[in-house]
Amino acid sequence: MSQPAAVIAAERGSADEFTKKLADDNLQPLWHIMGRIAAHSPTRGGAPIHWQWPLLRGHAMKAAEVITTEEAERRVLVLENPSFAGEGRATNSLYAGVQIILPGEVAPSHKHTASALRLVMEGTGAYTAVDGERVIMSPGDFIVTPSSTFHDHGNRADAPVLWLDGLDVFVVNLLNAPFGEEHPQSSQPITQPDGNSLKRFGQGLLPYGFARQEPRSPVFWWPYSRTCEALAAMRATDPIDPSLGLRMDFVDPTSGRSPFKTMTASMSLFPAGFRGAAYRSVSGAVMTVVEGQGTVRVGDTEWTVGKNDVFVVPSWNWHSFSADEDLTIFSFSDEVLQRHLGFWRDERASSPTQGVAT
Ligand code: 1HN
């Protein structure tokens, strides 16, 4: 039998009072927050967002006029998802930024728990030094800085160098595990020939007695020329995935696994004429166009994307790619971490229009 409105209101009032009393004692009724803390599907991946390269590059060049790398420590424009205003997140779990370093500059050496990746966007001849070794950067190169390794950057060329940074800082912060330290010298001492680790550990050979230092990848540079060769070989022989095109994941050649425990990075080629089927996974991703131009659809948003544009495909958002010319896209996400935890899932559209707003 239904109760009179006055009785319901009185009960509601005493329930509100009860909730307030609980809060005073640092208690919460689970029935008020359960939907929020244990949702039935992902809702907090942030918004789909697209930054065009001319805008990013223009702001980065301006930043280079207003602050030095020494002052800034790292001169980076953080790609912030508007759903996480003020938090510096690109997705719920990933950090992304565009870094610029001018000729003659040094970004001083430091180390931190967070792992970092770089994808070179413009300019040749800057370097990243990791653990006593430098790699010389060229566009399209993929470079990693493993957790807690000293790293610094410098530009010995005659033009600015810009790259995309990706870090797992929000995973580290979630677990409240950040530690960091400046190196006593702004450029760490170099003890190895440039690019030596790729030669020693990246050829399907290992020095006799090699012992892995988990979780550190001994290779930290994947030159774009090699990535292109791998993709071209894949294109010649392999079927093209209807959603993912031709995708190669970057791996530590000594383990066959992602160079990080937290982030998966990949390079995908969508051959000219590709019309991708909709796809979604629980790992939100940050992507950038390395070569070509195409169309990306995320839910009911569609972007024309060109070289060095950066965009975010949030977790569990249906998305698809089309390419009128060969389109090469770099992507990073938390896929490897979610797979390890047993959380990972993906879904493919069962009809060509699924996930596409009408
Ligand atoms: C960092 O160390 C770099 O080394 C770039 O280039 C961006 C963002 C947050 C924390 C550390 C770099 C970073 C960062």
Amino acid, res. 46:
G
Residue 116 CA, ligand 1 centroid: distance in Å? 7
Domains and CATH numbers, the chain: 49-348 (2.60.120.10)
Contact 133, 319 (CB under 8 A): no
Can you tell me the distance from the alpha carbon of 93 to that of 82, in angstroms, rounded to the nearest whole number?
A: 14
Q: How far is the CA of 98 from the CAs of 23, 118, 120, 128, 151, in angstroms? A: 43, 9, 10, 15, 17
- C-beta of 118 in contact with ligand 1 (< 6 A): no
Residue 63 CA, ligand 1 centroid: distance in Å? 16
- C-beta of 76 in contact with ligand 1 (< 6 A): yes
Can you tell me the distance from the alpha carbon of 133 to that of 148, in angstroms, rounded to the nearest whole number?
A: 15
Can you tell me the distance from the alpha carbon of 146 to that of 137, in angstroms, rounded to the nearest whole number?
A: 17
List the Cα angle 175/180/184 in 5-degree steps: 170
Residue 123 CA, ligand 1 centroid: distance in Å? 19
pLDDT digits (tens, 9 = 90+) for 204-256: 999 999 998 988 999 999 999 999 999 999 999 999 999 999 999 999 999 99
Can you tell me the distance from the alpha carbon of 118 to that of 141, in angstroms, rounded to the nearest whole number?
A: 8
Q: Which residue lies with its CA nearest to atom 1 of ligand 1? A: 74
Q: Which residue lies with its CA nearest to atom 6 of ligand 1? A: 74
- C-beta of 126 in contact with ligand 1 (< 6 A): no
Residue 182 CA, ligand 1 centroid: distance in Å? 12
Contact 160, 64 (CB under 8 A): yes
pLDDT digits (tens, 9 = 90+) for 265-315: 999 999 999 999 999 999 999 999 999 999 999 999 999 999 999 999 999
**Bond into 215 cis (ω within 30):** yes
Q: Which two tokens stand for residue 339?
A: 């797979």
Residue 203 CA, ligand 1 centroid: distance in Å? 29
- C-beta of 171 in contact with ligand 1 (< 6 A): no
Q: Which two tokens stand for residue 169?
A: 């800082």
- C-beta of 245 in contact with ligand 1 (< 6 A): no
Q: How many CB atoms lie within 10 A of CB 1?
A: 2
For the chain, residues with pLDDT lower than 70 are 1-2, 351-358
- C-beta of 167 in contact with ligand 1 (< 6 A): yes
- C-beta of 317 in contact with ligand 1 (< 6 A): no
Task: Tell me which H or E stretch contains 167.
Answer: strand 161-167
Residue 179 CA, ligand 1 centroid: distance in Å? 13
Contact 78, 88 (CB under 8 A): yes
Can you tell me the distance from the alpha carbon of 332 to that of 167, in angstroms, rounded to the nearest whole number?
A: 10
Residue-level pLDDT at 215: 86
Q: Mark 47-70 as b/e (b = at least 16 C-beta within 10 Å).
A: ebbbbbbeebbeebeebbeeeebe
Task: Tell me which H or E stretch contains 151.
Answer: strand 151-155
Q: Which residue lies with its CA nearest to atom 3 of ligand 1? A: 74
Residue-level pLDDT at 357: 46
Q: What is the phi/psi pair of residue 98, to 5°?
A: -110, 125
DSSP E strands, 24-146:
49-51, 76-78, 95-101, 106-112, 116-122, 126-130, 133-136, 142-145
- C-beta of 97 in contact with ligand 1 (< 6 A): yes
Residue 161 CA, ligand 1 centroid: distance in Å? 16
- C-beta of 169 in contact with ligand 1 (< 6 A): yes
- C-beta of 151 in contact with ligand 1 (< 6 A): yes
- C-beta of 99 in contact with ligand 1 (< 6 A): yes
Which strands, in side-by-side order, build the sheet including 246-249? Answer: 49-51, 310-313, 285-291, 327-333, 264-270, 246-249
Residue 74 CA, ligand 1 centroid: distance in Å? 6
Q: Mark 130-148 as b/e (b = at least 16 C-beta within 10 Å).
A: bbebbbbbebbbbbbbbbe
- Whether pTM > 0.85 for this model: the answer is yes
User: Quick one: which atom of ligand 1 is closest to the CA of 118?
Assistant: 6
Residue-level pLDDT at 358: 36
Pocket test for ligand 1, best of 70, 76, 127, 286 (most atoms within 8 A of CB): 76
- C-beta of 336 in contact with ligand 1 (< 6 A): no
Residue 113 CA, ligand 1 centroid: distance in Å? 11
Within 13 Å of residue 357, how many CA atoms lie on the same side as its CB? Answer: 7
Contact 313, 351 (CB under 8 A): no
